[in-house]
Amino acid sequence: MPKGAFEVSDQDREAAAEGVATGDDTAMRAVAVGGIGTGSALLVGLGVWTVLARRRSAG
């Protein structure tokens, strides 16, 4: 592991005080959007599946 890998720089401290992230967060933003989108799609799919299953068993 490289030396200083877990050290907090002055730039990191300033960014934390301002409430912003440091560095290029495009990849993390894409992961977050993909995860939220996938999770939402799964929940909608399970909801539709449940409704259809209840309608089939009732009829």
CA angle, 40 then 30 then 50, to 5°: 10
Neighbours of 38 (CB within 10 A): 10
> What is the per-residue pLDDT for 33?
95
Q: What sign for the dihedral angle of Cα 42, 48, 46, 43?
A: positive
> What is the per-residue pLDDT for 34?
97
Instruction: Please report where in the chains the tokens 């959007």 appear, as a residue.
Output: 33
Contacts of 37 (CB under 8 A, 6+ apart): none
Mean pLDDT split into 10-residue runs, the chain, 59 residues: 81 83 77 96 98 91
> What is the per-residue pLDDT for 13?
87
